[in-house]
Homo-oligomer: A and B are copies of this chain.
Amino acid sequence: MISKVVRSISEALSDIGDGSKIMIGGFGLAGQPGELIDGLIEQGASHLTVINNNAGNGTTGLAALLRNGQVDKIVCSFPRQADSQVFDELYRAGKIELELVPQGNLAERIRAGGAGIGAFYTPTGFGTKLAEGKETRTINGREYVLEYPMVADFALISAFKADRLGNLLYRKTARNFGPIMASAATTTIVQVDDVVALGALDPESVVTPGIFVDRVVAVGSRFDREEWAGVR
């Protein structure tokens, strides 16, 4: 019987080695897999390349991973924010490398990585600094930049519910990068609130089919947490 459910965060993350390329889900804090990131800090893998939309907020989660010196390079669309002080300091000190990618090209490159597309022409970024040095082409009178797919060794994502096959539901805008990152990593590790019985998820509503998921770990209901007091 297939079961992708693992018992602990540490078991889920045990084989992440130094130098791994890791996609981490989330847009700001929504959908950020906080428990998996905390586990990665404890686990200690270093010289990581991280792909995320942002470069950490405040001092917890991704920001704490950065502050712990485990990340050599970050690939993202929006590093600088009001509360990105951890990244800002590392970047100004030359301690972290940044690859800046327009958000939609980041999403489409990850999608292409999961979908077996070799490269694609996108209109986004044409004529800007972020397309400098990239191949371009005019197609039907419109100008495009050639972008290549993005894949990773691991994806760490957060979802709402899973079954033992790894089928996933998300919640509201916390869905964001989860489904595409799950498809683009060799090993996809998911934290969920609950693992539900097989058959409890409506086949019409499954967002990420289990084929894209390798490990699932339950971390308890988000509604039990302090900052969620009052949410239905």
The chain A residues found within 8 Å of chain B, CB to CB, are: 108, 112, 115-123, 137, 139-140, 142, 144, 148, 169-172, 202-205, 207
Contact = CB atoms under 8 A, between A and B. Distances in A.
10 contacts: A112-B120, A117-B122, A118-B121, A118-B139, A119-B121, A119-B137, A120-B121, A170-B204, A204-B207, A205-B205
Nearest to A138: B118
Contacts of A144: 118-119
A127 to B, nearest CB: 14
Contact of A142 (B118, B139, B172, B207): B118
A185 to B, nearest CB: 17
Protomer copies: 2
Given A118-B144, A144-B118, A204 B205 contact: yes
Contacts of A148: 139
Given A171-B204, A204-B169, A119 B120 contact: yes
A173 to B, nearest CB: 10
Contacts of A118: 120-123, 137, 139-140, 142, 144
A133 B121 CA distance: 20
Contacts of A122: 116-118
Contacts of A169: 204
A149 B99 CA distance: 29
A123 B115 CA distance: 11
Nearest to A205: B205
